[in-house]
Amino acid sequence: MPGVERLLPERRRHVVTKGDGTAVLPECGRPTVPGLVSERACAFYGARWMLGAIPDVIHLVHGPAGCAYFGGIVRRKSYRVFSTQLEESDIVFGAGEKLYRAILEAVAAAPGARAVLVYATCTAGLIGDDLDGICRRAARAVGRPVVPVNSPGFCGYSQAAGHDIAAGVLLEHFIGTGKAQEPVANGVNLLGEFDVMGDLGEIERLLQQLGLRILCAFSGRAATTAMADAHRARLNIVHCRRTGQRLADAMQERFGTPQLKVSFFGFEETASALHSIGKFFGSAGVEEIVEQGRREVGNAAPFLKKLAGKRVALFFGASRIGTMARAFAELGMEVVMIGSQFGCLEDYGDAGARVRAGTVLIDDPPEKELEEFIRKYRPHLFVGGTKEKYLATKLGVPFLVFPQEMSSFAGFRGFVNLAREAAGLVGAPVWRLARCERYYRTLQTAEG
């Protein structure tokens, strides 16, 4: 990383390098340093990340049209969103009645919706509209739940605050509301799984081989009816700590549902997940499933040759930086940086334990720090969100978007897809044209 002396004093403890002994963890969970351009998103978008995929409810954004547009695309999928489209006069005189009318109009436009989610944005929060009271009044008028999601962007440091707000909404209004109480013998829930490019289908295929049935996936497959019966699962499988752990803890306390934290990214992580889940249910045939997966992973061999020894930098959602670091190490790549916009100490501790000495751990870096990192460490591949894509591209570094945009990365087959996409990016000749001559000479020197 750029020398500590080049960092702002407020940022120095947010960037650490793993030594040979116990990993020193970066300072995290703090507000972004004022004046820096953070890669974080707001609490409203964090709530949309959690709730956007619920299919049988109306999603109504109480705020300017721009907020609705911003929240209408989640994980590269477009969702139908209604908006009150607040304007200057609404800010001056209030928009409570406008919100009430918008709820009635939205229900008239989508009469089959089982509920209405009303998201408060910064604007609504600042002018002080009585969101709770308006939602109660509207619920009586439309004959179905109208649920406030109090997620103005200023209510937290990052999108992580929105994740917690959304979890609270699901727990209070949707989870466990079904009449049936008896547990489903082979039923499980997936918490923190959003079905990015078919990930859920691949995970479900593996669980079905264990004889298990997914009752609800929060929120890649989370219709209101599925959430109502989620308390009947025998096990909650937490696939993302940041978006699933609060749900798992609350359901364990309220319903006594045990939980298990696993990952289905990478061969070893997937195999370990199957063994742990199989042990819980006493399932037979786990070794056969893993051996079949080992044969499937063999299809990645041609790509591993192209990736061996290449440097990779990872910067995305907090809870998966550790497991993905292990997956890229299985590809034969050298992980030189792991970072996140909103990681917690547990995330960085898990990630730091999975990487070798000399790896940089960085929390909430501004674009300038990422640029200096790329110039100093010259990764052959940068893996991150769309905000970082253009920075890496301008510097001539191949970029892989994660959560991914092309194919599933989960499970054994997903590991082959990951290898194929990474190898295709690293080996693409276009990057030689994109890099400036000085950069390319430096890269050749670094490779010896």
The pLDDT confidence band at residue 414, using thresholds 50, 70 and 90, is very high
Burial of 209 (0-12, 13-18, 19+ CB in 10 A): middle
The β-bridge relationship of strands 73-74 and 77-78 is antiparallel
d(CA 122, CA 47): 13
d(CA 26, CA 227): 36
Residues 339 and 237 in one domain: no
Span 369-376, average pLDDT: 92
Q: Pick the more confident residue, 188 or 74.
A: 188
d(CA 442, CA 138): 63
pLDDT over 60 (residue 395): yes
Which H helix or E strand runs over 49? helix 43-51
- Least confident segment among 3-7, 98-102, 339-343, 389-393: 3-7
In a domain, 269, yes or no: yes
Final residue belonging to a domain, choices 151, 174, 197: 174
In a domain, 331, yes or no: yes
Predicted pLDDT at 447: 56
- Least confident segment among 107-121, 161-175, 263-277, 375-389: 375-389
Residues 330 and 256 in one domain: no
3-class secondary-structure state, position 124: helix
pLDDT over 60 (residue 237): yes
In a domain, 446, yes or no: no
d(CA 398, CA 389): 9
> Contact 156/184 with Cβ under 8 angstroms?
no
pLDDT over 80 (residue 350): yes
Question: Look-up: residue for tokens 């049988």?
Answer: 56
Which of 323, 351, 347 is closest to 263 using CA atoms? 323
3-class secondary-structure state, position 83: strand
Tell me the residue type at 391: L
Domain that holds residue 245: 187-287
**Count of domains for the chain:** 3
Residue 265: DSSP 8-state: B
Tell whether the torsion through CA atoms of 23, 29, 31 and 36 is positive or negative: positive
Span 84-89, average pLDDT: 96
Tell me the residue type at 101: R
Which of 379, 371, 324 is closest to 347 using CA atoms? 324
Rounded to 5°, angle at Cα 46 from 82 and 196: 90
3-state helix, strand, coil in the chain (%, to 5): 50, 15, 35
Tell me the residue type at 133: G
Residues 22 and 49 in one domain: no
Final residue belonging to a domain, choices 264, 287, 310: 287
CA distances from 48 to 12, 43, 74, 308, 428 (A): 32, 9, 7, 38, 35
In a domain, 3, yes or no: no
Burial of 256 (0-12, 13-18, 19+ CB in 10 A): exposed
> Which backbone phi and psi does 277 adopt, to 5 degrees?
-70, -45
> Which backbone phi and psi does 400 adopt, to 5 degrees?
-115, 120
The pLDDT confidence band at residue 443, using thresholds 50, 70 and 90, is low
The pLDDT confidence band at residue 317, using thresholds 50, 70 and 90, is confident
- Region at 54 (left for phi over 0; alpha for psi -120 to 50; beta for the rest): beta
Q: How high is the mean pLDDT of the chain?
A: 92
Residues 142 and 78 in one domain: yes
Reported as a single tens digit per residue, the pLDDT across 180-205 is 889 999 999 999 999 999 999 999 99
Q: Of the spans 263-277, 333-347, 348-362, 393-407, which averages the highest pLDDT?
A: 263-277
Residues 143 and 214 in one domain: no
Which H helix or E strand runs over 361? strand 360-363
Residue 280's CATH number? 3.40.50.1980
In a domain, 80, yes or no: yes
In a domain, 417, yes or no: yes
d(CA 425, CA 328): 14
Torsion angle, CA of 275/280/282/284, rounded to 10 degrees?
-20
Predicted pLDDT at 77: 83
Q: Which two tokens stand for residue 379?
A: 């990764």
Span 328-349, average pLDDT: 94
pLDDT over 80 (residue 435): no
Predicted pLDDT at 117: 98
Span 62-77, average pLDDT: 90
Residues 270 and 307 in one domain: no
Reported as a single tens digit per residue, the pLDDT across 203-213 is 999 999 999 99
Alpha helix segments (H runs only) across 256-403: 267-281, 286-297, 301-307, 321-330, 345-352, 367-377, 386-394
Final residue belonging to a domain, choices 262, 287, 312: 287
Residues 97 and 152 in one domain: yes
- Least confident segment among 12-26, 102-116, 304-318, 412-426: 12-26
The pLDDT confidence band at residue 21, using thresholds 50, 70 and 90, is low
pLDDT over 50 (residue 5): no
In a domain, 314, yes or no: yes
Task: Provide the β-strand partners of residue 15.
Answer: 362
